[in-house]
Structure 1
Amino acid sequence: MASVPRIAAILAVKNGADYLGEAVRSILRQTMGDFELVIVDNGSTDETAEILSGFARQDKRIRLLFLPDPGLSDCLRLGIANSAAPYLARLDADDLARPDRFALQMERLEADHGLGLMGSQVTMIDNRSRPLARLTRPTHDPEIRRLMSRLVPFCHSSVMMKREVYERAGGYRPGIRYGEDWDLWLRMAPLTRMANHEEALVSYRVHGNSISQRYAVRFSIAQLRLRAASLQAQQELGSPDGFPARPLMRESFALVRTSREEFVREIKTHVFKQALKKLLFALGAMPIVSRAFPRLFHASP
C-alpha cells in the first residue's frame, strides 16, 4: 500500500500552455520531494492537456483531473478532495516556486502547532521570467490580521496550509469566481495563526492575460463584497466564523461606509493603477530601461 505524501500541491489551469511547463517543473524540482501534484484542467482548449499528459507519464507523483465547468474555486475543491496529504500547497499555472519553498514552509508549520497558514514574500516576474520587483507582505499574525479587513494579506500562489484547518473552515466555497482565496483566509482566521515567510519563495508572473489584469473591475466588486461580508459576520457573530453569504451591493456600500459614487471613483483609480503597472512592467522588461532605473523596477514596492 502506497504511503500518503506529506504535501499535496494543488494547481488549476485553463489554457495555460504558455507558462504551464515552467510552473510544473518548479514543483517537480522541490528539494522536499515527499509530495503529490494534483492538477485540475479546467476545460482547456489549447495544448494544456498534451503538456500535462507528458509530465504525468514521466513522474508518478502527478495526478490529473478534469473539470469542464469554469471556476477556480471549484477546481481547487476538486483537487483537494482527491488528495490525502496533511499539508496543502497552492501554485498558479503561470507562477514559479523556489526549489526550497516546500521544505522551508513545512519546517515552520511542523514546528509551530498553532500556525495553520503560511505564505511568503513574492518576486514579480515578466512573461520571460525576468524579475521585476519584490512584492512585500506582512510576516507576523497581528500585522496580517490588521491588514486582512482591507486587503488580501497573502499571495494565493505562495500559500501552504494545514489540511485540518482548511477543512474546519469549510474549504474554498463552491461557485465563487473572484476572491475565493480571501474568502477562505477570513474563515480560517478565527481558527489558527497565520504568517508569511520572510523570503520570496514564489515568483508571481505579471502578463496581460492574467485574470486579475483582465477582470480588474470584477475583482474590485468581489473585494468590496468580501469586506462587507467580513464586517457583517463580526457584527452578527462576533467573528467571521460561520461566514454569511456575500451581501448585495447596496448593503455592501452601507457596511463598508462608502457610496456608489465613491466606489466608482475607487474602481477608476484601480483600473488606472493596473494599466500603469502593466506599462511600468513592460518598460522594466526592457534591458536599457531597467539598467538605467534599477531602483524603480527592482525595489520592494
Structure 2
Amino acid sequence: MNQNQGIEFALNHGLKISIEKKYKYIARLDCGDVCLGKRFAIQTEFLEQNSEIKVVGSNVLAVDSNDVYLYAINLPLDDQSIKNKMYINSMLIHPAIMFNASIFNTVGYYPVNYKSAEDYALFFTISKKFKMANMNQYLTQIEINEKGISVQKRKQQVKRRIQIIKENFYFGYYPIYGLVRNYVLLFLPYNIILEIKKRIKK
C-alpha cells in the first residue's frame, strides 16, 4: 500500500482485490510462516467436500525466529467446539486458515476498531452466520517473533480480546472462564506465558 495504515487495512485491501478477481477461496499466511505439505490443496479439497463449512483452519507447529521448534498447537475440530472455546482464545490460527470468499458479502471485511485483534473480532462475526472447522493435521508452521504484533502489542491485543468477549458475552462457563483467563494474561509477563506454552504443548 502507498501508506502504512495498519495490518487491518492491508488485510482488507487484499480481500478487496481477491473478491474483485472473483477468487472462490482466500487463504492467509504471515511473513515468516510456512505452509506444510500441500496445505492449500488439502484445505481446498476439504471445503469442496464440506460445503456447509465456510472457514477451515488446521493445527500448527510453532518455531522461533531461528527455526527452532517451540511447541505444537492442537485445536478443536468441529464447529460447536470452536465456537464455545473462542471465548478462551482464538480457536482459528489466523495464518493457517482458508475462507470461502462468499462469506464476505455477509460479514463484511476485517473490523478496523480492534487494533491487534481484528482477526479475533472477525471470527466472532463469522461464527454467528457460518460453520467453521479445523483439520487434524499440521498444515502450517508459524514463527513466534519477538518483533511481531502478537508479542510487541500483546497487552493491546489482550485488552481488545477482553472487549470482544464482553461484547459477545452470555452467562456460561466459556465466557466467564475466558474473561478471567484473559485478565490473568493481561498482567503476566510474556516470557512466563511462553515458558508455560512450551511446557504444556510440547
User: TM-score normalised by the shorter chain: which range applies?
Assistant: 0.7 to 0.9
2:135 to 192, 197, 202: 197
Residue identity in the other structure for 1:111: Q
Structure 2 counterpart of 1:71: 6
The counterpart of 1:275, out of the listed 185, 191, 194, is 191
What is the number of equivalent residue pairs in this alignment? 193
Cα shift at 1:175 = 4.6
For residue 126 of structure 2, what is the aligned residue in structure 1? 188
Q: C-alpha distance in 2, partners of 1:207/1:107?
A: 31
SS in 1 for 2:168: helix
How many angstroms apart in 2 are the aligned matches of 1:264 and 1:230? 16
Q: Which runs of 4+ in 1 moved over 4 A?
A: 262-266, 277-281
Alignment correspondent of 1:300? 201
> TM-score w.r.t. structure 1 length?
0.58
**Aligned AA (1:134):** A
Q: Which has the larger radius of gyration?
A: 1
Matches within 5 A, 1:122-271: 122-231=60-169, 266-269=185-188
User: What CA distance in whole angstroms lies between the structure 1 residues aligned with 2:182 and 2:73?
Assistant: 25
Match of 1:9 in 2: none
Q: 1:95 aligns with which of 26, 33, 50?
A: 33
1:279 to partner: Cα distance: 6.0
**Where does residue 43 of structure 2 map in the other structure?**
105
Q: Which amino acid aligns with 1:74?
A: F
Deviation at 1:95, TM superposition (A): 1.0
Contact kept in structure 1, 2:33 and 2:143, CA below 8 Å:
yes
TM score, norm. by length of structure 2: 0.85
- Contact residue 116 and residue 153 of structure 2 kept, 8 A: no
Please say if residues 90 and 156 of structure 1, whose CA atoms lie closer than 8 Å, have aligned partners that are also in contact: yes
The letter for the 2-side match of 1:186 is F
8 Å CA contact 2:158, 2:182 repeated in 1: no
Whether contact under 8 Å (2:116, 2:150) holds in the other structure is: no
Q: Decide which of 82, 88, 105 is 2:17's aligned counterpart.
A: 82
Alpha-carbon offset, residue 266 of structure 1: 4.6
Structure 1 residue 73: Cα displacement: 1.1
Q: Give the drift of 1:126.
A: 1.4
Residue segments in structure 1 that go unaligned for 5+ positions in a row = 1-65, 236-255, 285-295
Shift of 1:167: 2.6
Aligned-partner SS, 1:134: strand
Whose relative contact order is higher, 1 or 2, with alpha carbons under 8 Å and at least 6 apart? 2
3-state SS in 1 of match to 2:201: coil
C-alpha displacement of 1:67: 4.1
- The one-letter code sitting in structure 1 at the alignment partner of 2:192 is L
SS of equivalent residue, structure 2 residue 77: coil
Q: 1:68-98 CA deviation, whole Å, 9 max, x = no partner?
A: 1331111011011112211010011121111
1:77–1:171 contact (8 Å) kept in structure 2? yes
Superposed counterparts of 1:44-55, under 5 Å: none
Q: Which amino acid aligns with 1:116?
A: K
